[in-house]
Amino acid sequence: MRKIGLLKNIIQEYAWGSRTAIPGLLGQSVPADKPQAELWMGAHPKGPSQVLSDGLWRSLPEVIQESPEETLGKEVAARFSNQLPFLFKVLAAAKPLSIQAHPNKEQAGQGFARENELGIPLDEPHRNYRDDNHKPEIICALTPFWALNSFRKIGETLRLLEEARVPGLAEIVSFLRSHPNRAGLKKFFNHLMTMDSGKQRKIVEQAVNSAEKRTNEEPVWTWMIKLNEEYPGDMGVLSPIFLNLVRLEPQQAMYLPAGELHGYLEGVGIELMANSDNVLRGGLTPKHIDVQELLAVLNFTDGDLNILGPENLAFGEAIYTTEAEEFVLSVMRINKESPFSSARDRSVEMMICTEGNVSVTDLSAGDITRLTRGISIIVPAAVEQYRIEGDGILYKAAVPV
């Protein structure tokens, strides 16, 4: 692939999705008939994009396989076995997603091999590992975005537990108070996750009754009530007590490496991740939860959350710095006075326009592609340099080179 190509993308209709955000972005009728949760831009087998190539709509994985070095770049093609290493999404959560974590690369490889040896089908609901890859990810808010991410400082958790006044947790709270470290946090979380369902429901009921008296104090209590309305009696209802509760403002982001327990609660964002489908759940879901496997991958370090802002890389482009090898996310603010010119040393890139109207010009071929709100493109590495003109905001996914 040697030219910039428009993308036609799959919409995933999960129950927690919004009926307005994605169809509104794409200029479709609102509200949609079904919840639209995620717009996938990429080559993932569960929802590959199509690309307009030589006048025909073709499967993006097929186009990449025909010319991996031209499309991905020689170094990226070699490093990632001729595969696009990331999945780019618009995520629209009207209801909370499951609390979850992702394995690191070694854990994913071992787990995938182990479950293959056991003969567990890839589509089996009780399977934990669906591929051998890790799944670091970044979420960047397009609207105010509520989320849970990683364990709170233990002192904060103890304060909230005391205010929640849950008699059924008195013994394990006492243990955590006397062991305010990783081991104590792990035992505390294990205790919550492994008690019988009847006791879980009773404890959640006690905590929610207390939360209802404190809704004017801080959003932890309001969110516990909301979570119980969606998942009554689920131990994940207590998660705002022991996980950092965060509200991202538009263009703020957070990075999620392996082992961090997290959940998205409400809002619309741009999500970028390694191309994997490995998820270990820990609550707020009717799906399979493997507590022991989850415990094996979790990072039990407590502390404050690191909120990312965009850092200026070049005029008109600012990046979100992470340690990920598979992807880098940036936001591009284009205005009429100052067009953006790309670097020549670059990998494959994907872009989606979220505001305004811009044109992207291939400076070698002279081809012009016009982007309005909701339109996305792929820029293959073979395009030597391009310029963006107009007035708008784009989000860009690329592979670091």
Q: Could you report the per-residue pLDDT of 350-385, keeping only the tens digit for each?
A: 999 999 999 999 999 999 999 999 999 999 999 999
* CA angle in degrees (0–180, nearest 5) for 86-92-96: 105
* Number of Cα atoms under 13 Å in the Cβ half of residue 112: 18
How far is C-alpha 279 from the chain's CA centre? 11
**What pLDDT shows up at residue 312?**
85
Sequence-distant (6+) residues with CB within 8 A of 32 are 19, 20, 22, 23
State mean pLDDT over 250-271. 97
Look at residue 42 and tell me whether its pLDDT is greater than 90.
yes
Boundaries of every domain in the chain: 5-147+248-289, 154-239, 311-398
Topology of the domain comprising 311-398: Jelly Rolls (2.60.120)
**What pLDDT shows up at residue 397?**
98
**What pLDDT shows up at residue 123?**
85
**What pLDDT shows up at residue 275?**
87
Assigned token pair, 8: 């036609």
Q: Could you report the per-residue pLDDT of 189-248, keeping only the tens digit for each?
A: 999 999 998 999 999 999 999 999 998 889 999 999 999 999 999 999 999 999 999 999
**What pLDDT shows up at residue 313?**
78
The CATH architecture assigned to 5-147+248-289 reads Sandwich (2.60)
**What pLDDT shows up at residue 43?**
95
Q: How many residues does the chain have?
A: 401
- Model confidence, pTM: 0.94
**Confidence band, pLDDT 50/70/90 cuts, at residue 170:** very high
* CA angle in degrees (0–180, nearest 5) for 191-195-196: 175
How far is Cα 375 from Cα 8, in angstroms, rounded to an integer? 9
**Confidence band, pLDDT 50/70/90 cuts, at residue 77:** very high
Decide whether 5-147+248-289 matches 311-398 in CATH topology. yes
**What pLDDT shows up at residue 60?**
97
**Confidence band, pLDDT 50/70/90 cuts, at residue 23:** very high
Strands 349-362 and 317-320: unpaired
Q: Could you report the per-residue pLDDT of 119-168, keeping only the tens digit for each?
A: 999 889 889 998 888 999 999 999 999 999 999 999 999 999 999 999 99
Look at residue 249 and tell me whether its pLDDT is greater than 80.
yes
**Confidence band, pLDDT 50/70/90 cuts, at residue 185:** very high
Sequence-distant (6+) residues with CB within 8 A of 171 are none
281 is known as an active-site residue:
yes
Look at residue 114 and tell me whether its pLDDT is greater than 80.
yes
Question: Of 177, 281, 346, 373, which is the active-site residue?
Answer: 281
Give the chain's mean pLDDT.
95
